[in-house]
Structure 1
Amino acid sequence: MNLLRKLPPEARLLLPAFIVILLVVAVPLLFSLYTSFTSYRLVRPETIWNVVWFKNYIKLFGSSDFWWAFGRTVLFLTVVLNLEMLFGLALALLVNQVTRGQRLLRTIMMFPMMFSPVLVGFQFKFMFNDNIGIVNHILQNWFGVTQAIPWLVESHLAFFSLACAEIWNSTAVFAILLLAGLMAMPQDPLEAARVDGCTPWQAFRHVTLPFLMPFVYIAMTIRSLDVGRAFDIVKIMTNGGPAGRTELIWTLSARAGYEDARMGYANAMSYVAVLLSIAFTVHFFRKLNASRQFLNEVDA
């Protein structure tokens, strides 16, 4: 109590929030970090005290299944983020040109991101079903395709299907942020570019796009954290199949932890996935700072 009285009033007001954050965030993180250095198995609680130090990480880095999942995760991140950025930029540019009903369009544009990833996974799982899916139905009845396409069975098609679901669910994040950037952009540079005889493409390439790059990297940072821990959609649509060909780090970690009961090994894998997300975040923050510095130099 004496220690609490010595704290300034502001610190005492923030103390409950710090305690909640400690209990909800810090304690589980420290616990999972500790168990990543043990041979902890869910079916044998006493193994939580069996410290094996870096054995789980050494085993992890020697596993071909992990490296395949790691490579797929990086590929999935790269493909999804870039396509979401392109589609989101196109949507933002189109909506920005609308003068009437723009608020309604902005609301409609946000609908996909309001759906739970689990629901999106079920939705696209049935859409791409090779027997009853609407995609095959349209291809067979409208485009003359004679055989059902195994979207969720063939490995490359399954990867494509997962990317479609993820892009549909989250392109709105890029669209909203980039539309905010377009609405905040000063019109004087664009008018000067038109007076100088620039084509619409040149004005976009040299004036609009540099101004939007900070917003692009903010969206990239947010989405890299989301896609880096992709689990729901993959679990629902393919469950890592066929034959593990769509297994990502988080689905492989969940399988090791909850199906094989190797929680220590699964937590070690999860921390490697966290480091991967952090690496993408740091990369995009550096790009964000560079784009801001470029804009400041241009304004100066």
Structure 2
Amino acid sequence: MKAWRLPPHVALLLPAVIVLAAVVLLPLLLSLWSSFTPFRLTRPDTIYDFIGLRNYRRIFTDGDFWVAFGRTVLLLTVALNLEMVLGLGLALLVERASRGQRMLRTILMFPMMFSPILVGFQFKFMFNDNIGLVNNALQSLGFTDQAIPWLIDGRLAFIAITTAEVWSSTAVFAIFILAGLMAMPREPIEAARVDGCTPWQTFRYVTWPFLMPFAFIAMTIRSLDVARAYDIIKIMTDGGPAGRTEVLWTLIARTAYSDARMGMANAMAYVAILLSIAFTAFFFAQLGKARAQVAADW
């Protein structure tokens, strides 16, 4: 009898499957198991104590978790809308440029090349109340005669964090929308002009419906990024002052490492992942509607 051998394509893929299982699947299963235990970093033996859904029940009655969740949704809503508006404006300007368009497209991508940690440190310095660029500029221009506590006041700190998020990721919307503008046929726009449509009417009823699928793709990508925002907030405020900029993943990190409640933190993380999936499903549904509308109109 011939010795049994794996098919060649399975043998070639097997090392990659083993590595993925060791690096991704096993830690994922371990974290899922620990979310059903009272696992504490200070007491490793507690990972063997199964407590069922107790952690998840505590989450749904935990006010801090839902405040952090609401703040995450607020950051997501404000950041995505500002990024879409600014990205749309930048894309329209670059698309209309008659010279240096390639250089402008390259410049658009610069903010995306910086690490979120570097962006956090840079904006933390810029919004510093004593030596920050923002306060110095406002005082030099006569808008204020005293330092504004950007990172000490809760509302101002949220504005500073939103500004850093928008600056670092507006390019995502700009690039996708610019791709849509470059792929858009010229005939419908010319027909709208011949019919006497104003520039606003042409944009509202011809250009924007065609660009909506591209905008929703960018929204889907950015919603996942903002829903797991951590680096910039950790560097700029660390969830402060007094927890007023705490979002889901800074709360999860504090619960896991500062409070050593790893089981509860993993339960929070899985709830946060499910909420992120819900947002992604919503944007995918909107993307499907936008594509169907474009297919019907074009």
User: Shorter-normalised TM-score: what interval?
Assistant: over 0.9
2:37 is equivalent to residue 38 of structure 1: yes
Secondary structure, aligned partner of 1:62: coil
Alignment of 1:8-19 (within 5 A): 9-19=8-18
1:220 is aligned to 219
Q: Could you tell me how far apart the structure 2 residues matched to 1:161 and 1:223 are?
A: 18
Please state how far the C-alpha of 1:53 moved relative to its aligned partner.
1.1
Change (3 A) 1:10 1:292: farther
Aligned CA RMSD, in angstroms, stands at 1.4
The whole-number CA distance in structure 1 between the counterparts of 2:284 and 2:110 is 28
Partner of 1:190: 189
Aligned to 1:63: 62
- TM-superposition CA deviations, 1:30-89 (whole Å, max 9, x none): 111111111111111111111111111111111111111011011111111111111111
- Give the TM-score normalised by structure 2: 0.96
Q: Distance in 1 between matches of 2:29 and 2:72?
A: 25
CA deviation string 1:224-264 (max 9, x = no partner):
11110000000000010110000001000000000110000
Write the distance in 2 (CA, Å) between the matches of 1:4 and 1:295: 51
Counterparts of 1:258 and 1:202 in 2: how far apart (Å)? Answer: 54
Residue matched to 2:281: 282
Within a 5 Å distance, the mapping from 1:1-300 to structure 2 comes to: 4-5=5-6, 7=7, 9-299=8-298
Separation in 2, partners of 1:120, 1:77: 18
Structure 1 residues 147, 271: CA separation in 2 closer, same or farther (over 3 Å shift)? same
Which amino acid in the other structure matches residue 84 of structure 1?
Answer: E
Deviations 1:178-234 (A, max 9, x none): 111110111111111111111111111111111111101100111111110000000
Residue ranges of structure 1 left out of the alignment (5+ in a row): none
Q: TM-score, normalised by structure 1?
A: 0.96
Q: Deviations over 1:254-298 (max 9, x none)?
A: 000001100000011111111111111000000111111111112
Following superposition, the deviation at residue 2 of structure 1 comes to 6.6
Separation of aligned partners in 2, 1:179 and 1:196:
26
Deviation at 1:4, TM superposition (A): 5.0
Distance (Å, rounded) in 2 between the aligned partners of 1:30 and 1:138 = 51
CA distance in 2, matches of 1:258, 1:144: 42
Task: Tell me the distance in 1 between the aligned counterparts of 2:224 and 2:276.
Answer: 6
**Equivalent residue letter for 1:154:** D
Task: Give the 3-state SS of the residue equivalent to 2:70 in structure 1.
Answer: helix
What are the Cα deviations for residues 142-169 of structure 1, in whole angstroms up to 9, with x where unaligned? 1241111110111110100000000001
**1:11, 1:287 → 2: CA distance?**
38
| AA aligned opposite 1:55 | R
Runs of 4+ in 1 over 4 A off after TM superposition: 1-4
Q: 2: distance between equivalents of 1:100 and 1:158?
A: 39
Q: Deviations over 1:78-135 (max 9, x none)?
A: 1111111111111001000012101111111111110000000000001001111110
Q: Secondary structure at the match of 2:99?
A: coil
- Distance in 2, Cα, partners of 1:27 & 1:230: 25
Percent identity (aligned): 65
